[in-house]
């Protein structure tokens, strides 16, 4: 049995006669006929049951009925559920029903967000880093990296700066400083010039006043720069750049002097246990004498400066002769077999022979003594105060 949606158009010759009515069985099997162009019934009646997305299934108010043309006659008018105010339930306030209020999660505690934690669902990729075990592992790994970096830096720094050896030269105390200053200015009253040894190594300077140190030379150098600025200010010649000039000049003199002595030891083939830091310490004591000479010039001016320079140069020369003579000519260090190669300025453990070259050692010793007096004069001759009338401020009219 065929279905024709346009009855009457099937057979034009039979358009004038009426169409026989359909049987009930045909209508139930085929459904209602399709709507006509000029009007007529709809193709299929709307279902009486709820739709797929019917809001009545979820407790929401039912929408207004819509006619067959898709037009809502109550569109734009407030619905019934919006016109009636919500009724207050006994024991509950406005808002969600009691079931929803009871089901709200707690603010904190079990099942709720913890203080300081990110909100649920926000940055989930960082949630692992909030675990204590992960934080402990990260801290241990960072501490291990820091220790390795520190060890590498210490090893690299130790190659260029002998930190362990420098600690020996700064192992001093107040008693040693006082005794050393007395030895520098009054070396004539000192009797024992020998160095003390602890098995194979010399004892620290705090236990032996004859041992060289770098504390007094360092403090003397800093004090020299300060006193130079003070005297330049008293002579109306001070400027901030002068402090840098004086400091760099003194440093250049010390480096040049140290290079000259090291080259002399190498050229003269003098084999000695005197190390580079020992030379730096002995030649650095002259800054103490320079500071004393400049301070004396503030009281006695030029004549006082030259008298103080002459005395300190003589006493310092006597100190160097007795001290370096012990290390150069009569070295009483533990006996070592002969077979030395050359002078080692860095004090590496080698075999030395201290018996030969006595005349060359004396030449080197006198060269060091004369050099200290010369460099002390060059570093202070432009700083001492002249006569009092030169310092007088001229009157302005």
Q: What is the pLDDT of residues 11-46, one digit of tens each?
A: 544 445 556 655 555 555 555 555 555 444 444 555
- Inform me whether the pLDDT recorded for 198 exceeds 70: yes
Q: Is residue 138 domain-shared with residue 220, that is, in the same domain?
A: no
Q: Is residue 365 domain-shared with residue 242, that is, in the same domain?
A: yes
Least confident of 59-73, 159-173, 197-211, 365-379: 59-73
Q: Is residue 378 domain-shared with residue 275, that is, in the same domain?
A: yes
* Within-domain flag for 343: no
Q: Is residue 152 domain-shared with residue 254, that is, in the same domain?
A: no
Name 201's bridge partners: 198
* Entry pTM: 0.58
* Within-domain flag for 299: yes
Q: What is the Cα 156 distance to its own chain's centre?
A: 18
**Angle, vertex CA 274, rays to CA 270 and CA 275, nearest 5:** 115
DSSP per residue, 30-97: H-SPPPBTTB---SSPPPSS--TT-GGGGTPPPPPP--TTS--TTTTSPPHHHHSPPPPPTT--SSS-
Q: Is residue 252 domain-shared with residue 359, that is, in the same domain?
A: yes
pLDDT on residue 92: 44
pLDDT on residue 378: 94
- Inform me whether the pLDDT recorded for 141 exceeds 60: yes
Q: How confident is the model at residue 231 (pLDDT cuts 50, 70, 90)?
A: very high
Q: Is residue 221 domain-shared with residue 304, that is, in the same domain?
A: yes
Domain residues for 154? 132-161
> Dihedrals φ, ψ of 211, to 5°?
-75, 140
- Inform me whether the pLDDT recorded for 237 exceeds 60: yes
- Inform me whether the pLDDT recorded for 236 exceeds 60: yes
* Within-domain flag for 39: no
Q: Is residue 156 domain-shared with residue 218, that is, in the same domain?
A: no
* Within-domain flag for 29: no
| Residue that wins the pLDDT comparison between 369 and 270 | 369
Structural domain tally of the chain? 2
Q: Which helix (H) or strand (E) holds 365?
A: helix 358-380
Q: Is residue 156 domain-shared with residue 280, that is, in the same domain?
A: no
* Within-domain flag for 327: yes
Q: How confident is the model at residue 334 (pLDDT cuts 50, 70, 90)?
A: very low
Q: Minimal CA–CA distance to 390: which of 263, 323, 297, 294?
A: 297
Mean pLDDT of the 95-119 span: 50
Q: Is residue 154 domain-shared with residue 273, that is, in the same domain?
A: no
| Residue that wins the pLDDT comparison between 388 and 63 | 388
- Inform me whether the pLDDT recorded for 342 exceeds 50: no
Alpha-carbon span 389 to 393, nearest angstrom = 9
* Within-domain flag for 151: yes
Mean pLDDT of the 140-158 span: 80
Q: How confident is the model at residue 223 (pLDDT cuts 50, 70, 90)?
A: very high
What is the pLDDT of the chain when averaged over all its residues? 73
* Within-domain flag for 127: no
- Inform me whether the pLDDT recorded for 278 exceeds 70: yes
* Within-domain flag for 117: no
- 372, 320 Cβ separation under 8 angstroms: yes
Placement of tokens 């559920």 in the chain:
81
């Amino acid at each position: 049995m065929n279905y024709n949606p346009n009855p009457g158009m099937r057979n034009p010759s039979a358009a004038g006669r009426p169409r026989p009515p359909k049987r009930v069985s045909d209508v139930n099997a085929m459904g209602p006929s399709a709507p006509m162009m000029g009007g007529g019934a709809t193709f299929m009646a709307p279902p009486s049951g709820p739709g797929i997305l019917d809001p009545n299934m979820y407790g929401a108010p039912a929408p207004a009925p819509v006619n067959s043309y898709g037009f809502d006659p109550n569109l734009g008018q407030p619905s019934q559920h919006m016109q009636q105010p919500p009724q207050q339930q006994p024991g509950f306030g406005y808002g969600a029903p009691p079931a929803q209020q009871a089901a709200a999660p707690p603010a904190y505690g079990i099942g709720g967000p913890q203080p300081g934690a990110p909100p649920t669902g926000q940055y989930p990729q960082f949630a692992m880093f909030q675990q204590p075990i992960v934080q402990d592992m990260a801290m241990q790994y960072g501490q291990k990296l820091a220790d390795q970096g520190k060890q590498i830096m210490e090893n690299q720094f130790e190659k260029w700066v002998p930190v362990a050896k420098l600690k020996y030269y700064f192992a001093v105390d107040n008693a040693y400083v006082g005794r050393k200053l007395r030895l520098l200015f009054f070396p004539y009253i000192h009797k024992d010039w020998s160095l003390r040894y602890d098995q194979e190594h010399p004892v620290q300077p705090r236990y032996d006043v004859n041992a060289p140190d770098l504390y007094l030379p360092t403090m003397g150098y800093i004090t020299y720069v300060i006193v130079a600025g003070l005297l330049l200010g008293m002579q109306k010649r001070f400027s901030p750049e002068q402090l840098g000039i004086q400091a760099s000049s003194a440093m250049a003199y010390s480096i040049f002097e140290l290079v000259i002595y090291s080259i002399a030891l190498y050229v003269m083939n003098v084999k000695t246990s005197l190390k580079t830091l020992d030379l730096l310490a002995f030649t650095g004591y002259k800054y103490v004498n320079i500071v004393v000479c400049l301070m004396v010039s503030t009281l006695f001016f030029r004549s006082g400066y030259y008298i103080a320079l002459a005395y300190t140069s003589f006493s310092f020369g006597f100190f160097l002769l007795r001290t370096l003579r012990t290390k150069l000519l009569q070295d009483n260090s533990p006996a070592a077999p002969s077979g030395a190669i050359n002078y080692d300025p860095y004090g590496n453990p080698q075999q030395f022979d201290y018996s030969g070259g006595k005349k060359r050692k004396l030449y080197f010793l006198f060269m060091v003594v004369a050099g200290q007096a010369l460099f002390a004069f060059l570093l202070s001759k432009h700083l001492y105060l002249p006569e009092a009338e030169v310092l007088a401020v001229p009157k302005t009219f």
